[in-house]
Every structure is written in structure tokens, then in C-alpha cells.
Chains A and B, each alone.
Chain A
Amino acid sequence: MSSLPRRIIKETQRLMQEPVPGINAIPDENNARYFHVIVTGPNDSPFEGGVFKLELFLPEDYPMSAPKVRFITKIYHPNIDRLGRICLDVLKDKWSPALQIRTILLSIQALLSAPNPDDPLANDVAELWKVNEAEAIRNAREWTQKYAVED
């Protein structure tokens, strides 16, 4: 394994030193490219109060390609499927090397605030979200309570 690019080191340092509120990303002790991420559900969203675990992996050619991010905690969200994969443009084609881990995580947090059922990944959820948003939000709350709230 070649050593870590300076950028990753810098980003990691900054994440540690100036953590983003509601976001906690800790590199794995064995693999500095693998981060254990905890994102708190944004206020005024059905995910409020939830603590969502994610994994984030910086591929070899990062920052030229996007980090791979996945929800580990189950979440009821139209853009996140049951395997935790996230449908988010900045993780895909809209990735830019100017983006960083923190910006990505912020985007994800924002995605929780603003689900986009028009570009769904979990079709059933998206459907419900479109048809009956209230129920969908209720479901999301339930799931959050069920899976993302730790006692």
C-alpha cells in the first residue's frame, strides 16, 4: 500500500480538528482511507434524533474520483436503498476534486433534510413519498426510532 496522499491527511486532520456539527468521521485504525462516519439526522426532518452510521471509503484515485459512501444504519429514504447505497449526484457524476469529505457528508446530511423522490433509488419508498408524503415521513420517523436511535 502506498502511503497516504497529503490531501487525505490534511482532510483527516481538519475533520478531527474542526468537526462539522452533526457529522463525525473517524478513519479506521487499519485503513486510513476507510472512515467510520456518524451523521445525526437533521432537525426538522423525519430523521431528527437519529444517529446514522455510514461508511466512507476513499478510492485509490481520490480526489480524482468520488468517495464511496454507504449507510450502514437502515434508513427510510427515497434516495437511499436498503443496502444503504446513496443516490447523490456529487457522489456520482457531479463529483469534483474540489469537494471534500466534509462537503460530501454535508451533502448527505442535506439529502436527509430534503429527500428527492424524483430521483429515487428505493423505488417503493420514493413512490410512497410521492403519493403519501405524510405516511412516508411517518415511516421514516419509525425507522429512525427503530434503527437509528440508540439508547
Chain B
Amino acid sequence: MEQFEQLLTCCVCLDRYRIPKLLPCQHSFCMEPCMEGLVDYVRRQVKCPECRAEHRIPYNGVQAFPTNVTLQRFLELHIEITGELPDPTSGQIMERCGVCSEKAYLSHCAHCEKKICEDCKSAHMDILRREITRFNSQIRRSLHRLQDSLAIIEKNTMSLQTNAISVTEEIDEIYQRITKAIKDRSDQLKGEIDRYLAVELRNLTTLKENLDLEITNIGSNCDIVDKYMNETVEWDDCELMDTKEIFLKTVEFLRHFEYENNDYSRRVRFLVSIDPNQLVMNLATFGDLNIAPHSTPGGSVSSSHLAPPSGLQPGLMRSKSDHRLATQFRQQEERGGYNDEPVLGGRKFGERPQRSATTANSDRYGEGSRYGRSDYDYENDYENESTGGRTGKSSRFRSRFVRSHQNDDSDTEQQQQQRQQELKERKERVLDSEDVSRGQLSGIIRLSDCSRVVQRLADIGKEKKSDKKSDAACAAQAAVQAAIQNQKAAMQRQQQKQSAAAADEDELARQKRKSVAAGAAGAATSSSEAGQEQRPNSERLASLKTTRGGEDSDGSGSNQAAAASSPVRTATAATRAESKPPVAAQVAAVKKTQRSGSSDSSASTESSASSGAAAAAAAVAAAATPSSSQHKAASTARHSSARDSVASSAVPEKKPFVSRFLPQHSNPPSASNGTSDKKKAESSSSSEEETSSESESESEPETKPKASTGSTTASKSAPSSASSSTTAATSAGSSSTSGSSYRDRLEARRASRDDTALASRSSYATPSSSGYGSAGSSSTARTRTVPAPHHASESEDRYGSSSTGTGTGSSYTSRFLNKSKSSAIVTQPSLSTPTASFDEDANGTGDDSDSRYGTGRSRYLAMKERRTRLARSRSSHQFGNEDEDLDEPVSPTTVSPSAYLASRYSGYGSSDLSRSRSSHALKSRDNSPITDRSAGSSRAGALGSSSTDNKDGEALSSWARYLKNKYGSKSSKDTPSGSAGSARDSHAASSTAASSSHAHGTGSSGSGSGRSTASEVSRRLSLGLPLRQANELASSDDDGSKNGLGSPTSPTVAAAVAAAGITGVAGTIPKQVYLRKRQQLFQLGGRGSEPGSFTWPRGLAVGPDNSIVVADSSNHRVQVFDSNGIFVKEFGEYGSGEGEFDCLAGVAVNRIGQYIIADRYNHRIQVLDPQGRFLRAFGSQGTADGKFNYPWGVTTDALGFIYVCDKENHRVQVFQSDGSFVGKFGSCGRGEGQLEHPHYIAVSNTNRVIVSDSNNHRIQIFDVNGKVLSTVGGEGSDDGQFKFPRGVAVDDQGYIFVADSGNNRIQIFNPDGSFLKTFGSWGSGDSEFKGLEGVAIMSNGNILVCDRENHRVQVF
């Protein structure tokens, strides 16, 4: 059988025969590639490998040889017998590979869309796998952010609960107080009435008695007179006289007596000083709930890291290898939301994107059409997408970048998936089930739910060995997934990889409806999601209201119902603070005005900039609110309807905006109470991440000062709030008119939103039309009003200006100004001045940014901005945290907001993003998922910046500061303390939250470099390398060094910082190391001819034992130093004999320690043994092969071949180690592959020959056969350009080092030839060069540089 096998095996390819062709000598070989390879095309002969017989090739080529039919039959028979699978390539025809253009059996590659050979395909798959791995690690690294936000959400839930409880308590308290007051009063009044009654009664009784007496008296008198006053009785005159007098008197009395009715009919009247109706009204509205706004609607838990790169940050996110993808992505980006499509474009996981199913090839993938890509353009696609959900045809790019929508058929069930999924999903195909677990936030499906993946895993289980594809990775990830799934924590992990979802309105409405119906089924999950999700406020509100039941809001709710005019909730802090003042009723009134005013004003001020759009929303809200108790349902209904309809009113206007910002609204406002509570928590504080956390942070520090300042604050804040309320009125008035332009504005707003939190505010306020948002914005207002006492006039002015609607800047400023003041003023008045000026600046900036972004911004940019914002929202998240942390210690509380503010501005404009990134960077640098830490770190940066800003903020314009921020290292470099501070900052960053105060101290100590580092980092990051924080750190330091070359001390510190930052980050060490290069470690030599000195040294080499070998050219000797620069030995002297040199140039050391020396003026190469004894020499002057004309650089490769730069012959010659000529390449000229005065040469361990083509000012890279692989550089002094490059070196990673002689600098290039770093300048100091010659790289990464005119070798 074995022999049988052997007979069926082609002896050339050692494989089964494929189309065996029979030679006339009766030997058979495969037609391709074996027979093809045997052909001698010159002689048109084929030589039989077996018998060496030569045969003429037929005219038609080798295929004209007869096929060995017998053999073929045997092959078939063999297949039948053994049942062995047919060769997959049998029957296929070889074609040119689309990538390497080798002839091979091709198959389609999903990665590059070409037909390519297996090799290339596996390479591509490898790329994909690596990318996936990278993404995976990226995700892993970023995943904790979801967890962080989960923690934050939990925290927020807690705080919300406490908040709610405290509000309830407050309401109770007020209620009790008011009740008590009323009761007391009524008791008192009752008592008075009683008393009064008693007195009056008494009076009346006596009167009655008296009257009775009179009556009896008079009656008796009358009787007596009647009876006795006649003649019968003797009365003397005197008596009669008296009687008459008495009767006269009685007559008189009776005539005069009149009951003084009035006196005794006095009625008690209950007089009420205040109109009872009014009072009732006041009472009814005595408290409102002010729900703090979420300042950033766009924000979500999503990570800026994972946010797809914008043009500014062509980062790692994008699969670099996948250009098509990249371009498509970009296009898509331009088109607007990548969010509106499902992850795989509706495809199933692993499914090949469909094309016209013509190229069916089912054998490999077993299902359906073999693959293809959608050819139709995006627009069509888009329509398809939006209209029909998933119809199975969707564009490919979409599938990659898109976030999911809920398709119609997808359940309301939550699905979870991680982002890597998305990447994974390109390749495998899957059955129907995967929609079930689609993540609500990101639309990521769970890999382990994909039947294809399951299949794969099963396969792996069965046959472990042959998993061709990325299944291994897949499996691992799937396992991860499964674990996650099991934990059930996945829900919270959902990532919003795209910053803001742009779900369609329809869909949104639909989803909402659906979700409402969904009920408690997904309650727990949905609640958690709700936090991360950006649902329209209205929605949230609705859910809140419907679900919240008997919570604190109830009381206030009823109040609202009565009031019917004002927003839903009073912010806790406000209520708290305001509850202090003891004048209950009046307070209520004041509060009410203030509240409404403030809420409106916040809307208005903020929105007034945006032409009162938000105000319009607020107005709408106000309109909507009156529906009071039912308005929850009503508003919900309204909203959904509004969303569906595209009416022209402000409300519908709002919705696209909303939807655009909400990453995903698929979420049901789930009905269950518990959920809603949670949701509420999230919504109020964390769900709109930045906003919430921000507002929270604001509120919390504020509450303290407020509490302390107590009633004065409240009373004083009244005027400002009044003014603001007027503002509100104005803006509300204008709102109707501005409604039409609202949308445009919003666009602009959106664009600029990342700069202006205001925008986010307004946007927030907008969706809140049902009242929630406006209430929410009242927190802002609250912020404003609080500090108002101190700066009442200022704030008033500001409000005034905002009421006129002049610009964003003002309102923006006001917000922050007040905030900063609230912090700064209360406890640290000294700070207030700089802060104020800073605010002024900020104001300017705000305007600036507005003008910048306001009108001309394309949507594309807007999208980018949005992403940026997202990023920022994250950072603010940290801030939020931080502020919460700061709540405990008092002093930090006061400063940190200003720091926060400063930091906000410090990264103003484009660096907003970067700032947030910086916090990320710092965070991930910490390598620990503890939020507090990162908060601390970011804060440290913030503090640093704030202090700096405070320091020089007054003098600088905002732009100057911005620039300074951007290139801020200068300032830090100027002051060593600054850099020290940065070190400390970083230290603080890496310490725990407990060190926050420390960090604070550091910051205030005046370190600017914390910020600078951070901003540098962030800038780097924003430039698109979000992954490599460490690198970025390092690179930022590089930048710093560039900026601060003048001061040699700071770079080291910075480097130390970088090092500190780098610790813990592994993987890219050589790059980091190189990126940090700039500082001379030590140097060798000095002019002279004694040992250890040089005279015009030229070539450099590193021995296998890391010894440093220097061609001491004009001393005609070779000197050897150990790796620390200690002189070891020297050999050689002037002459032309053996072991003698004449101005040697290049030197090389081969694997076995032999020295290979280009003996320049002797036109030869000498080989010396490791002891320096002569072994051999070869070459002489000439132009023939093996002859030289001033040989210069030499090098050797792993096989011992010697490469010589034959300078004046403009070529490179290759010799065996014994000196026998092997080959040459290059000729004089400027073309590709031509050389002009090649000086130095290096060979990488991948056999790339790097030649410094000196007079062409470029580096050419050849393969060992002299074929040009690439060319680097051109004449110039920019990065990546050269002037007479000389020494070249390559390390074992492939990084290329070039001594850019004319520019007196060292340039480092990545293995792919892209520029990495440069350092050095002209001069004779440390790290300065005059006339560079050779460079060499030691195995530890130290760079040796031969500084010829300084007669030394510098080591970096």
C-alpha cells in the first residue's frame, strides 16, 4: 500500500499527482507547478527529474504533454479505496494571486475582497486574528469602564435613593411644619374666639340682669303708684315730690334707654391677611421637584477608546489593514450615523455578505452563496435598512461599524455582546438565533449565541488540531462571552462603541412602544441598561412618573398638578437648601418663582444662545405639564406620536436631535417600580453620564456651601432667579419663532456641544419637553442662583445677556462661572479673581467655538464632535466621581470644582476630547479599574491645569491658553518644579482616591506639567493612538523634550514620568524605549590617539557580546569597548599590510566575533579574528566584481555573508564570509535601486538590506537579492527626510536607525519604514552631533552614534 501511495506521489512536490503529465521518458509529474517549474524556457526543454532525460517542450507548452490517464485512474481508484478526501484544489486552475501575484490556487478572501492564494489568505487571517486580539485586549482594557460605570450607576442608584428619601423627608418636614403652623394659628385663634365669647357673654348677662332689675323696679313702682298713690293714702308733699322725681326719672330713662345693639352684636370675623385661594395655591405649589438635568445627552458609558476613530484620530480602532473598510467607514461617517445600522448589517454572524450569488462555491462553507459583497451603494442600502429592517441584504461596511438597531423581529429581550464580537462577526456565518441576544445598547450580539460559533467550538472539541480560521480566538472569546453571560453581568457591560446612536425616529418610537409593552420581563436588565442609555428624557420621565408610584414625587406631583405650571421635580439640593429658611409660606412662593424661573432660565439661558430653542422646548414643556397628573401618560403618548410625526412644532423638531444623540433608545421604559427607581437614579444622575455626574458633582459641593450660607443665599438668590425668570419669559416668547430654526441650531449646537456643555444642556433640556428636562436644567439654574448672592450683579448681567440671546458663550460662561464661584467664593475668596478672569476667557472661548462650529460645520464634523463628546462624557464621569469623593473633605470640595472647570477649559476646543482621553490614558496607565483612582488622576491633571491657569490665566487669552494647553509642555519645561509637579501628579494619579487631597495639594502647588503631560498625552491620543497610552505618554514627553530642548533637566523628569506611567504596561517596550531616546547615557572618546580616544571615528559595530567596536578611522585602528564603554582593546595600525589599515571606515562583527573591516583607502575588506589577528583580506581597487573603490560601510548577516558599500562604485557587493564574491547590486543614479555614494549598510534579521543612499538623501531597503523593497525619505529636514544620511542600523525588531548626518540628528523608523522619532541637533554638547557617521544598536536597545567631528561615540 505504501508503495502504491508512493506511486501516486509526484516526486517533485511530494504530493498526490495533480493532472499527471507523461513525459516521453515515461515519467509523470504534476502539470502545475512541478512540470512548469522544470521547464527551461531558454532552451524550451524540460529535463526529467527522474532520469535527467531532456525533452523538447511542445508548442503549446507542458500541458500539451499527454496526461497519464492510467495514473489518473489509479488516483481515482485510490481515492475510492481509501475514501480520502479529494484535494480541495483539484479541478481548480491556478491563477495569479491578487496579493503576491504568485501563481497558486486561489480562493476568495473576505478581508481584502480579492482572490488570493492560501498563503496570503492565511496571512490575512492572521492579520485579522491579530486585530481581533488587539481589539480584544483593547476591549478588555476598556471593559472595566463599563464596570466602572456600572459601579457608578450603582452609586448613583444609591445616591438617587438617598436623594429621594431625603427629598421625601424634606417634604414631610415642610408639610409638618406648615401643618403645625396652621394648627397653632387656628388653635390660637380659636382660643381668642373663646375668650372673646366668654367676655361678651358675661357682659350680656350683666346687662340682662340689670335690665331685669330695672323692669322689676319700675314695675313695682308703677304698681305702688297705681295702688297707693291716690287720696286714700296720706303722702306728704315731700314724698310725693320724690316719687314724682323718681317717675320723672323713670320716664326719662325709659325714653332714653336704648339697647346698644351694636355693642353686643359685634361679630367675630376671621380675617385672613392673605387671600386664602392664593394661600392654597401657594401651598399647593409650595414645593416642586426639580430634577437635575443631565448635562450631556450624548454621553453614554461608551468609551472613547472604543469609539470609532474620527478623521482626527485614525487610531487603532480601525483595522489598519483594511483600507476598504476604512474608506467606507469614513464615507459612512460622513453620511451620518453609523449607528443606525445593525452590527452586521443585518447579516448573520459569519455569513458572507451577499453579492449576486454567482460565485457560488458551497463546498467550503457549506452554506449558500460563497460570498460576495454588496455592490449597491450606500444610499440604497440605507434606505433598505431604514425601511425594512433587515432584509438580508445590507452593505458590508455597515456590518462592521454599525451599531445595531432593533430590527423589527428582534425581541425586546436584552442582548449582550461585547464589541469584539463585531469584529469577529465578519467571518463566520450563523443561523437565526443570534438576534436574541443582541445588546440593546451596542447592538452587539453574543458570539456564543451564534450557531456558527457554537459549531466551531464543537468542532474544536472534536478535532482540536485543524482549526484553520480564527476559531481559536473565537473560541476563547466565546468562552469569555459565555462566562460573562453566565454572570449575567453582561448586561452592564454592554458597550456603546459608537458614541451616540442615531436611531431613526420611527424606530425609536416603535421601540419605545414595544418596550413599554415589554413590561417587567426585562426589567432588571433594562434598568441597568437604562442608565447607560440615552433615552429621551420624556420617555424617561414618563417611565419615571408612571412607575414611581408613591415615592417622594407623589406629593410634589400633586403639587405640580395644582401648580400646573412648573417642572416636575425640585432638585434635592435646592430643596434642601431652600428648606432651611424658616419662612415657610413665603419661602414656598419664593422658591416657586425661583424654581420656575431658574428652570426656565437654564433652558433659556442656555438655549437663548441657541436661539431659544431649548426655551421653546421648555415652553412646550410648560404647555405639556399642565396636564398634570395624567401628563405622564399623555406626554409619553405625545412623544411617541411626536416622534412619529414630523410636524413643524418645536416638539417634533426636537426628536431627531434626541434620537441622534441617544446611542440607543431601544430601551423600554420598563414599567416595574424597582426598575424605574433604578432608572430614575440613573437618569437623574448617571445615565446622561456627563450631565448627571456633573450636575451631581455640582450640586453636592454646592449644597454644602448653601447649607452653611443658609437663608441668606436663598433670599439673595431670589433676585437673580427673578431676573432669570424674566429671561425665561423672553426666551419662551421667542421660542415660538425660533422653533423653525431650532433644528439648524441644534445641528450647530451638536457640533459645538463637545466644547460647550451648554449645548448638551440645551439638548438635554430639549427632549425634556414633557417637563423633566426643564426641571433638570433647573439644577443648572440652581447652580447659578446659589452663588448669585455674591455675584448677584454679575449673574444678573449674564442672565440679561442670555435673555437677549446674544450667544452661547455668555450662558455657558455664566453657568461655569457661577459654578466656579460657588466653589471658589464660598470658601476660598482668594481664588475668585482668577477664576473670574478665567471665566471671562472661557466666555470668549465659548463665543469663539460657537463661531467656529456654529454655522459651517458639516455633519461629518458634527458626528465627530459627537464622538468626541462621548469621550468627554466619560471623563466627566470621572469628574463626577471625583466630586463625590470630594464631598467628604471640605477644602478640596471648594477648589475642585474650579479645577474641574479649569480642566474643562484647559482642554477647550479640540482638546476637549483629548482631555477626556487623557484621563483615560492616565487611567489605563494605572492599569487598575478603580474609578476613584482615575478620577484622582484626571483630577490631578485638572488641578494642575487649574493652578496654572490661575497663575497665568489672567494674562492669557483663552486661545493662548488653549494653545498653551495643547503644547503646554513648554510651561512645564520652564519650571523644574512644574515637571516635578507632573511627576507628583502622576504619582497622585497612581495612588488611590485617598490621595486626592494630596493630588490637590500638588496641583495647587503650581505644577503645570501635570496638565501638560496629560494634554500631551491626550493630544497624542486624540491623534489616533488611543491604545498605547504608555507610548503616548512617552511620546508626549518626546514632544515635551522637543519643546524644551533648552532645559536638559526636565526631559529626564518627564522621562521618569513616562517611565512611571509605563510601568505595568508591557508589550511595546522597544518602541517605548526608542521613543524615550533622546538623552545621552554616556559617551566615549575625545580627540586623540591614545587608547580610548578617537580621531574621526567612523564605523561602529556591536559585537555578539555587546562590545562596542569603533573604527577609529584616522588613527587607523579598531577600538573595542565593553558595553559600558570601558576600553578593552585596540588593534591595527597604519599601513597596507595584513592587519594594517588606511583610514578604515566601516566595521562589522559577525556571529562568531570576527571583525570585518572596510579598509577604505586600501580598497579591501579585512577579516580579523576575535582577538584582532589577521585572518584574510579580499578586494583591491577597481570596478570589477570583488573589487572596491573606497569601500565604506560593511555588515554581515546571520549566514555570514558580508555586505560592503562600495562607495565610489555606487553599489553594494555581497561576499561569502571567506571573501568569495556572491553578488552585487546598485549602480550610480537616482532611480529606484540605484545608489549614489552608499555609505553604510545594515541587514536585518529578516534579511532586509538597508543602505544609506547618501547622495540621494534616502534609505533604500533591498532584499538579499538586491531587489528594492522600499525607499525611505528624501532630501529635507522634516521628520523622515534626510540630508546625506550615513550610518544605518537595524535592531532585531526591525526598527531602523539612521544617522541623518546633514541634519545632525538620529532618526528612528518603524519596521514598516514609517517615521517614529528623531532626536539630536548640531553642536558638541550632550546629545548634539557634528558630522554623524555610523550608528549601531545594542541588544539592550542602546543606540550608539558615532559623532565624528566631536571625535566621540555617544550612547543613547
Contact = CB atoms under 8 A, between A and B. Distances in A.
Interface of A: 1-3, 5-7, 10-11, 30, 34, 57, 61, 63-64, 83, 94, 96-100
A67 to B, nearest CB: 13
A97 B102 contact: no
Interface of B: 11-15, 34, 37-38, 47, 49-50, 52, 100, 102, 119, 122-123, 1199, 1216-1218, 1245-1246
A97 B14 contact: no
A89 to B, nearest CB: 11
B14 A1 contact: no
Contact of A7 (B14, B52, B1216): B14
Contacts of A57: 1199
B1294 to A, nearest CB: 13
Contacts of B1218: 83
A94 B48 CA distance: 11
A2 B119 contact: yes
Contact of A98 (B11, B100, B102, B1245): B11
B15 A64 contact: no
B14 A11 contact: yes
Nearest to B52: A96
A57 B123 CA distance: 24
23 contacts: A3-B122, A6-B14, A7-B13, A7-B14, A7-B15, A11-B14, A34-B1199, A57-B1199, A61-B37, A63-B37, A64-B37, A64-B38, A83-B1218, A96-B49, A96-B50, A96-B52, A97-B12, A97-B34, A97-B37, A98-B11, A98-B49, A99-B49, A100-B14
A2 B15 contact: no
Contacts of B12: 7, 63, 97-98
Given A64-B38, A97-B34, A97-B38, A6 B13 contact: yes
Given A97-B38, A98-B11, 4 more contacts: A3-B119, A57-B1199, A97-B37, A99-B49
Contacts of A99: 49
Contact of B14 (A10, A30, A34, A64): A10
Nearest to A13: B14
Nearest to A95: B49
Pairs of residues from A and B, 3 with the lowest C-beta to C-beta distance, nearest first: A98-B49, A96-B49, A98-B11
A30 B14 CA distance: 24
Nearest to B1218: A83
Nearest to A96: B49
A33 B13 CA distance: 16
B1080 to A, nearest CB: 33
A8 to B, nearest CB: 9
A98 B28 CA distance: 11
A99 B11 CA distance: 8
Contacts of B122: 3
Contact of B15 (A6, A61, A96): A6
B15 A10 contact: yes
B814 to A, nearest CB: 65
Contacts of B47: 96
Contacts of B49: 96-99
B745 to A, nearest CB: 58
A7 B30 CA distance: 13
Nearest to A60: B1265
Nearest to B1216: A83
- A63, A98, A100 — most chain B CB neighbours (10 Å): A98
Contacts of A100: 14
A1 B119 CA distance: 10
A34 B1200 CA distance: 13
Contacts of B52: 94, 96
B11 to A, nearest CB: 4
A12 to B, nearest CB: 11
A7 to B, nearest CB: 5
A34 B1218 CA distance: 20
Contacts of A98: 11-12, 49-50
A136 B1199 CA distance: 31
B337 to A, nearest CB: 41
Nearest to A93: B52
Residue from B14, B47, B100 with most neighbouring chain A CB atoms (10 Å) = B14
Nearest to A65: B37
A23 to B, nearest CB: 18
> Counting chain A CB atoms within 10 Å of each CB, which of B12, B50, B1216 scores highest?
B12
Contacts of B50: 96, 98
Contacts of B13: 5-7
Contacts of A3: 119, 122-123
A91 B783 CA distance: 89
Nearest to A81: B1218
A3 B99 CA distance: 14
Contacts of A97: 11-12, 34, 37-38, 49
A94 B47 CA distance: 11
Contacts of A1: 1246
Nearest to B1217: A83
Contacts of A96: 47, 49-50, 52
A61 B122 CA distance: 21
Contacts of A11: 14
Contacts of B119: 2-3
A61 B38 CA distance: 11
Nearest to B1220: A83
Contacts of A94: 52
Given A96-B50, A97-B12, A2 B38 contact: no
A11 B15 CA distance: 11
A115 B47 CA distance: 28
Contacts of A30: 1245
B37 A2 contact: no
A122 B812 CA distance: 91
A49 to B, nearest CB: 26
